[in-house]
């Protein structure tokens, strides 16, 4: 093969980076368990309709970024670009009879064909949570607090800030849409072609535009937060009161929006500027209309997703792997006995490196490079005595230890 490099936008996660990735996911999993969330997984590819209906036909993800293809029978499929739509589909297909609320989390690879940046590739990884079946603002509070707790546990306190906004209820958004359309229609000549199309089909999507000209127009647009009805104001007040009581600091950002109709009330993002330009590390909100949009029963929901790569770049070096015990056999008989001993020690909970080849000096050298704390040397002399020679790899001290006492002796090296 001429080109063995990973496809553009993908990369190999080698051991040191993988430890960081796992530390992010494992830490998040441990914290979410404290809140009663259970893990689930959805397929890496789904029917294209799952995402086009939920992300919106006019969204950049669907029109420009989704990896869509047909299988051998011509069925339209897509690699998942995000996790919430798959969880909603799974709820409709297999979880709708379960008692509510449902607390679910997922972790895995997502795929988007977009301009690559540091910490954002075309294959990337997310950790996300979804809380289904609770319409009250307390669910929004718990979900945001959970996100803050995860980031705190990863040592990111002080490196991220929470931005918060209200998108209002359906009545608010319908009224605001009319005001926004009137404003944008007066600035058609300054809008991009994509935004002109969205103005006709889904005007709130214009607020998400990354086009510089669109951004200049949107900067002067009426703010959704200035058009909240009484019910929406009360909902948002309950959310901010709950966050205040929980000690979670936030900043109101009236430009933080979600363009699709099924989003409502709370929208939030944890952002950082520690890597130059401001970047989002964890984002979410309430999506009460999503499951109904997909053909399921009316079911409120709120959740968030976090970018594993971006967070992994921000955290301190995670704990090193467990340092091992090296079993170093000498001679053919020692080789066989060493493999048996290595198996016994592993079943007893020790991390064990096995010296496969070379003389004693070379095997001890490899054990040292592997970071072993102790070496268990077994040769003809040791076997004749019913003992193994245990060498402390840091001091060089050696001791003869009976096989029956070996596990107890090695306990100090765990």
pTM above 0.85, yes or no: yes
pLDDT at 36: 97
Residues 17-70: pLDDT tens digits? 899 999 999 999 999 999 999 999 999 999 999 998 777 665 667 767 889 999
List pLDDT tens digits, range 132-145.
999 999 999 999 99
pLDDT band for position 321 (cuts 50, 70, 90): confident
Mean pLDDT for all residues in the chain: 89
Q: Tell me the two tokens of residue 148.
A: 């803050």
Bridging pattern class, strands 45-47 and 38-39: unpaired
HEC-encoded secondary structure of the chain: CCCCCCCCCCCCCCHHHHHHHHHHHHHHHHHHHHCCCEECCCCCEEEHHHHHHHHCCCCHHHHHHCCEEECCCCCEEEECCCCHHHHHHHHHHHHCCCCCCEEEEEEEEEECCCCCECCECCEEEEEEEEEECCCCHHHHHHHHHHHHHHHHHCCCCCCCEEEEEECCCHHHHHHHHHHHHHHHHCCHHHCCHHHHHHHHHCHHHHHHCCCHHHHHHHCCCCCHHHHCCHHHHHHHHHHHHHHHHHCCCCEECCCCCCCCCCCEEEEEEEEECCCCCCEEEEEEEECCCHHHHCCCCCCCEEEEEEEHHHHHHHCCCCCCCCCCEEEEECHHHHHHHHHHHHHHHHHCCCCEEECCCCCHHHHHHHHHHCCCCEEEEECHHHHHHCEEEEEECCCCCEEEEEHHHHHHHHHHHC
Report pLDDT digits (tens) over 164-220: 999 999 899 889 989 999 999 999 989 998 888 888 877 887 887 878 999 899 889
* Residue 108 pLDDT class (50, 70, 90 cuts): very high
Residue 339 Cα distances to 259, 345, 346, 376, angstroms: 61, 10, 11, 12
Q: Please tell me the predicted confidence (pLDDT) of residue 46.
A: 96
Domain architecture of the chain: domains with CATH: 15-169+229-314 (3.30.930.10), 325-413 (3.40.50.800)
Task: Read off the pLDDT of residues 209-266 as tens digits, 9 standing for 90 and up.
Answer: 878 999 899 889 998 888 999 999 999 999 999 999 999 999 999 888 876 768 899 9
């Amino acid at each position: 093969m001429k080109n063995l490099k990973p496809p553009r936008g993908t990369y190999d996660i080698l051991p040191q980076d993988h430890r960081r990735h796992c530390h992010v996911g494992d830490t998040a999993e441990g914290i979410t368990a404290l809140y009663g969330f259970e893990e689930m997984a959805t397929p890496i590819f789904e029917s294209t309709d799952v995402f086009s209906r939920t992300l919106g036909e006019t969204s950049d993800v669907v029109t420009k970024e989704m990896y869509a293809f047909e299988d051998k029978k011509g069925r339209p499929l897509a690699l998942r670009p995000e996790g919430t739509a798959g969880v909603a589909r799974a709820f409709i297909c297999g979880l709708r009879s379960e008692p509510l609320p449902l607390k679910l989390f997922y972790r895995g690879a997502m795929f988007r064909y977009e301009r690559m940046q540091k910490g954002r590739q075309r294959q990337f990884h997310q950790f996300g949570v979804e809380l289904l079946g609770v319409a009250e603002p307390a669910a929004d509070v718990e979900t945001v607090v959970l996100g803050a707790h995860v980031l705190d546990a990863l040592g990111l306190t002080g490196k991220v800030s929470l931005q918060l906004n209200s998108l209002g209820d359906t009545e608010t958004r319908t009224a605001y849409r009319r005001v926004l359309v009137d404003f944008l229609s007066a600035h058609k000549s300054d809008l991009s072609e994509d935004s002109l199309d969205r103005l006709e089909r889904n005007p709130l999507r214009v607020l998400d535009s990354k086009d510089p000209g669109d951004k200049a127009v949107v900067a002067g647009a009426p703010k959704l937060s200035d058009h909240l009805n009484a019910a929406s104001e009360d909902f948002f007040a309950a959310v901010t009161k709950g966050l205040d009581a929980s000690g979670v600091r936030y900043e109101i950002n009236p430009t933080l929006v979600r363009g699709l109709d099924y989003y409502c009330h709370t929208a939030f993002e944890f952002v950082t500027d520690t890597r130059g330009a401001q970047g989002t590390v964890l984002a979410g909100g309430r999506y009460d209309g999503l499951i109904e949009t997909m053909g399921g029963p009316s079911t409120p929901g709120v959740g968030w997703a976090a970018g594993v790569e971006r967070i992994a770049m921000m955290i301190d070096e995670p704990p090193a792997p467990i340092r091992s015990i090296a079993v170093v056999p000498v001679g053919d008989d020692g080789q066989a006995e060493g493999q048996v001993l290595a198996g016994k020690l592993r079943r007893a909970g020790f991390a064990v490196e096995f010296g496969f080849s070379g003389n004693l000096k070379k095997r001890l050298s490899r054990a040292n490079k592997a970071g072993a704390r102790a070496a268990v040397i077994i040769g003809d002399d040791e076997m004749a005595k019913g003992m193994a020679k245990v060498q402390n790899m840091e001091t060089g001290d050696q001791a003869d230890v009976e096989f029956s006492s070996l596990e107890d002796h090695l306990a100090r090296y765990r």
